[in-house]
Structure 1
């Protein structure tokens, strides 16, 4: 009976590629993606607050998509408006968990996904910490207003895109350390 031949790409334990210790960590990618998402969110919020707040909404695509500044003290769809401090704590926990995962981060797709999540979490966290009505009670600036949907910002978009990518990577069996598991 023939023995299966292990290819250089797949070991007997189901892991693919080189061992993580021999590969390059993807922390710089995570930081670059997070910085870009955070900066883009911050700049757009500064612009819309300075130019659009207390003005009529701007139609981007008729009534299907408008730019309309609102301050949201809660989560998506205005849920949990009285839970700003709790939502701030959750955002801090997300940052801490990503920092812990980053120590063993060798997967480029995971670095991108976690970078999006981190950048978005930091973008909304800055609003919650520093915006009015007070420290750790701030309302998040939302301004992208599709018709019949919640108003959101670029940080929210980064969080959702990062979350979807994490789910897809998990379904494909790719771990943050670059290994692939087969269930």
Structure 2
């Protein structure tokens, strides 16, 4: 009896020239799929926000402790000075009759920034959002815990420069952070770390 058996071609892998292109084509696809995304930036965002929040809280406590209402402490002549103001409105004394609404807006900003930050991969966006978050938290604490009560609290402002309305560290952080975010948007820098113009150029080629 012959012991020769038919070869099962389905079970034998192809090793000829026909198999090489398939293997070579599979490698780039796997590499592209496994390409690591940018580093998450939420920790950086939270660190920046915490530092600015702490600085804002400290400077407000010092202002309340050492500056009397109506008193003006010159820093650079009459151009820059410390003066204590209780502000029921928004940054730079705007919308003074809408304290409760501003409180809700500040709370919404805090929640929104944290949600965006969970998927953030751009360092510059993390810096800008961290500044906005730190400033929003600083003024939100005033509105919740300072006189005359929750949702109606007056924000402590103490820095006066020239004709500019009196402001605090939180106001400065919010404005500077917002300017940075607008600039990033205008120049095409995305929160995921890419640049929209460059991404479009790569796709067209």
TM-score range, shorter chain: 0.7 to 0.9
Q: Select the structure of larger CA radius of gyration.
A: 2
Q: Unaligned 5+ residue runs, structure 2? A: 1-33, 201-205
For 1:103 and 1:78, the matched residues in 2 are separated by 32
Q: 1: CA distance between counterparts of 2:107 and 2:60? A: 20
- The answer to whether structure 1 residue 62 and structure 2 residue 81 are counterparts is no
Structure 1 residue 77, shift from structure 2 partner: 4.1
Per-residue displacement from partner, 1:127-180 (whole Å, max 9, x unpaired)? 011000111110000000112110000000000110010011111111111121
Structure 2 residue 127 is the aligned partner of structure 1 residue 112: yes
Q: How big is each residue's C-alpha offset from its partner over 1:42-74, in whole Å with a ceiling of 9 and x where there is no partner?
A: 000000001113362110000001100100001
**Aligned partner (choices 40, 44, 56) of residue 41 of structure 1:** 56
Q: Which has the higher helix share?
A: 2
Moved over 6 A (4+): none
Equivalent residue number for residue 31 of structure 1: 46
Q: Does the CA-based 8 Å contact 2:92-2:171 persist in structure 1?
A: no
CA distance in structure 1 between the partners assigned to 2:51 and 2:87 by the alignment:
23
1:103, CA displacement in angstroms? 1.8
Match of 2:10 in 1: none
Q: Does the residue aligned with 2:196 lie in a helix, a strand or coil? A: coil
Question: 1:54-105, CA deviations, whole angstroms, 9 ceiling, x for partnerless residues?
Answer: 3621100000011001000012343322210100011011111111211210
State TM-score, norm by structure 1. 0.86
Of structures 1 and 2, the one with the larger relative CO (CA 8 A, separation 6+) is 1
- Secondary structure of residue in 1 paired with 2:74: strand
Partner of 2:114: 99
Separation in 2, partners of 1:144, 1:123: 15
Cα RMSD over matched residues? Answer: 1.6
Q: Deviations over 1:20-56 (max 9, x none)?
A: x532201110011000110000000000001113362
Which residue number corresponds to residue 27 of structure 2?
A: none
Note if 1:80 corresponds to 2:110: no
Q: Work out whether residues 69 and 85 of structure 2, in 8 Å CA contact, stay in contact via their aligned partners in 1.
A: no
The aligned counterpart of 2:176 is 161
Asked if 1:178 corresponds to 2:178, the answer is no
Identify which range, 93-102 or 122-131, moves more after superposition: 93-102
3-state DSSP class of the match of 2:40?
A: coil
Q: In the comparison of the two structures, how many residue pairs are matched? A: 165
Mapped to 2, the partners of 1:153 and 1:159 lie a distance apart of: 10
